[in-house]
Structure 1
């Protein structure tokens, strides 16, 4: 720690920070990564669904609060690679229209200051970096692309193939869910992935998931100019007397405080914690929080409207890896409803322990096992609209999320519509019998798709960041996680965060002359 000045300091190693570190590593610039967690150890617990879903083994023990002061136990993880260690690897591009102004039943999704074409080359770069498997020209909402996916799609297992065919028979357009995974189905001896049933929601024991740790951080720190310090919780940022540049990053490491300095400082803590760090760094020059002259830091918090529809069948489901189908036929609405509804994708394997984690207390184990063995689960995503009153703020050391639901009518319609689709399907081996057990909405603790708390834009009055994701108020401070999103779309945010980190990385290389 003796030499504490760096060309670039990156705080956080997830989809944004890890990807940016990879992009900058070969420049030769002196780079410091500060990560509040550690590497996830390789251990039996990696594949233990009881420990992960019932005991919450790897989740943070932090407690946040909602607007009523009620406790939130956030579903988030602090470790190298961030939440990508536990994601399902679904890596989709935003639709072209997502970057434009979109009218919803419950409000307006604002226009982005940059368009799809500005992100397209970085989407392509990110798909290569994260080894995405997929197939073009099956999804009717797919944006324009210049290249095929780097790898072929992950095949459907027989049970899932039958569902895929049934959806086609209903006039829908199911497509292979784009996945970042190290699976070679042509030659299993060259495949890191063994196509197991512990992927979505689990850290991979084999490092076969394309996450920010394995694909970006580890290659980056192989360069001598890149330093990673784990278990380093950044507490606040100091600025110069003018308030125009960050000149100190205060981190707690092994119970002691250290101050690092860098020519450029980048926040990549996730949309909630990046906003919290800016707010906790208030000083005389920035009395409302660092880089907060707009009063927008922490505001416009979005995390998607999630629902799970679990379909129970009389047929035993022997599928090991079901997460291979997505459907966007209702993305922009349907006949008689001209408003966006959202996206559908299969979830990973639902184990009995996972069922028990969400079931009513004292649910018998045999019931949880029966549900897990005869079901398939779908994730529905509807756009969460930005609202400045939906915000993250701090009181002392406590984090609060003040959130009011929106787009509820659309979301309810979407859930009902998908239930109707499933109930109407007649699959040969199911004797025509699929009954939907329940549609379940996720709650405020589900923060995996968090975004919007430091939106980017062209004017300091209505945005926190400029088009290169540098704060308007502080000349050497950037944010590269999902904070910059002006809207949330209705697909997973990971690939857009990764693509943007590559885009900002290109700007930083030019700024540094690298």
Structure 2
């Protein structure tokens, strides 16, 4: 892999052109899937990443290091609306936050692309349909090695079969699936991006959820897209430890000409390019534009709509731990089951509930150290040994008031109020009742704080109306003709499933559009 840093790593410093054909800022799921479309194109592609590679080491799978000490967390500080400072759990490294995702790889439902009335609020329609994105979903699943099984999920969109067979349930999960079926529900194998085929890299029982994979078996951005692309094309260059903090436009304000920032040692660096692609994540991509003010764009670069940073979403989430008091849960790889019977409101058993239910990575005692309940903290080792663990996720409603702002000192402020909680809370209550009927009488609940920003999205939505969106259907700025975005910032709505696969599929779609446009202009 041809890599380096902005200070002039010998492996790539002498090869830099004066002007790059495409500059991608961020190496997470969106940026890596985007550049995968340029392998073999002959174009000079530069990817800029503010972090470094995650070192394969014993600590990758050490719960104390990862969960308790936050070994890999960025350490950045944001403020809440009330002025309280906090450290968001975000990661600056090659592969971005995807290095720590649990591998869930859902497609959005067909209705998620449509305008919908929620119990609290509404979602705008996406400017593309599910059918338009479906071909790239197919390709993303192959690249990420998604395991699953079609034809069981009642909310499943029309699609081709999964490219890899579903992961098998271990005994405790298989028993639960059977009990759910006896109740008339439709549990199905969770689609998971992991190399668990015969002869694959995965060692069953290694942690996934919230941990980097030491053996590169997870279908994250680096493994699925970035490494294959850079290996296939010497014209793709990755510079690490390079923080971009400003984009500079031309005199007319119609094109970006330069990205500037700091290198590994704090020195000033700048890069000129023909096309610029934001892929730093929903918050950081928006922050970069808000910091790039000018006389032509006093509210932030390309922010004529005033929407950059607004409509921040991050899902309504709850963790459930269902205890088997007299029997330990010996499951090694727990993340294999999902339930979408209540994905939309209107189910006869609980009409107001809405969202997705899935097993999460096995809880360990370190997950519970900061639990608000003294009882849970005190008995965390017993609970972790005896719990079946679930992640319940419901749609977060977009709102102009939920937003990211940058103050006069460059500090990031998060304004967020809970939205559309009624269907989520109804689902949590109903699933607790279901678990009791399955023979799991003790169910512990934990809801993350509003400052939890996993699955962040929506800060630069794409659409057809420049007054109500930041980007057009092709994820190109309405105002800057060579500025694109391909991370979750473009999402008009959050849906109720994990965003990783949709980020990848849309980034591949945008990559094809940009590549086609460059070829057309040549």
Query: TM-score surpassing 0.5?
Result: yes
Task: Specify the alignment match of 1:288 in structure 2.
Answer: 299
Give the deviation of 1:361 after TM superposition.
6.7
Determine the C-alpha separation between the residues in 2 that align with 1:326 and 1:245.
45
Match of 1:479 in 2: 485
User: Aligned partners of 2:349 and 2:175: how far apart in 1?
Assistant: 29
C-alpha separation in 2, matches of 1:401 and 1:22: 32
The answer as to whether partners of 2:315 and 2:393 remain within 8 angstroms in 1 is: yes
Kindly report the root-mean-square deviation, in angstroms, between the aligned alpha carbons of the 2 structures: 1.5
Distance in 1 of aligned mates of 2:450 and 2:418: 10
Aligned to 2:335: 323
- Compute the displacement of 1:446 (Å): 2.0
Aligned partners of 1:231 and 1:361: how far apart in 2?
41
Q: State the 1:280 CA deviation.
A: 0.2
1:498 counterpart (493, 504, 511) = 504
* Structure 2 residue 266 is matched with structure 1 residue 272: no
Q: Deviations over 1:404-457 (max 9, x none)?
A: 11112222111111111101113xxxxxxx233421111223212011100101
Residue number in structure 2 paired with 1:243: 253
Q: Distance in 2 between matches of 1:340 and 1:452?
A: 23
Gaps of 5+ in 1: 427-433
Aligned partner of 1:383 in structure 2 is: 395
The Cα shift of 1:394 comes to 0.4
Distance 1:491 1:100 in 2: 15
Instruction: Give the equivalent residue in structure 1 for 2:150.
Output: 136
CA contact (8 A) 1:309 1:377 kept: yes
Which residue of the partner structure matches residue 463 of structure 1? Answer: 469
Q: Which residue of 1 aligns with 2:9?
A: none
Tell me what 2:163 maps to. 150
**Contact preservation (8 Å) 1:286, 1:292:** yes
* 2:405 paired with 1:393: yes
Per-residue deviation, 1:355: 2.3
Name the residue aligned to 1:225: 235
For 2:259 and 2:383, locate their aligned partners in 1 and report how far apart those are by CA, in whole Å.
Answer: 50
Question: Separation in 2 of the partners of 1:491 and 1:507?
Answer: 26
Kindly provide the CA deviation profile for residues 296-334 of structure 1, in whole angstroms up to 9, marking residues without a partner as x.
Answer: 000111010000111111211110000000000111122
Distance verdict in 2 for CA 1:113–1:406, change over 3 Å: same
What is the CA distance between 1:104 and its match in structure 2? 1.5
SS in 1 for 2:212: coil
| Superposition map of 1:292-371 within 5 A | 292-314=303-325, 315-333=327-345, 334-335=347-348, 338=351, 341-358=354-371, 360=373, 367-371=379-383
Partners of 1:340 and 1:504 in 2: CA distance: 34
Offset at residue 198 of structure 1 (A): 1.1
Deviation at 1:148, TM superposition (A): 1.0
Q: Aligned pair 1:177/2:190, yes or no? A: yes
Q: Which stretch shows the higher mean deviation, 407-416 or 258-267?
A: 407-416
- 2: CA distance between counterparts of 1:86 and 1:436? 29
Distance (Å, rounded) in 1 between the aligned partners of 2:349 and 2:176: 26
Q: Say whether residues 1:205 and 2:217 are aligned partners.
A: no
- 1:88-103 matches, within 5 Å, as 88-103=102-117
CA drift of 1:267 comes to 0.3
Greater alpha carbon shift after TM alignment, 312-321 vs 133-142: 312-321
Q: Distance in 2 between matches of 1:338 and 1:238?
A: 51
Residue 38 of structure 1, aligned match among 32, 36, 52:
52
TM-score by length of 1: 0.95
Query: Is contact 1:96–1:143 with CA below 8 Å preserved after alignment?
Result: yes
* Matched length: 501
Moved more, 377-386 or 218-227: 218-227
Q: TM-score, normalised by structure 2?
A: 0.94
- Aligned pair 1:192/2:192, yes or no? no
Verify: 1:411 aligned to 2:411, yes or no: no
Deviation per residue, 1:469-509 (Å, 9 max, x gap): 00011010001000111111000011111000010011011
Structure 2 runs not aligned, ≥5 long: 1-12
Equivalence map 1:401-440=2 (5 Å): 401-426=414-439, 434-440=440-446
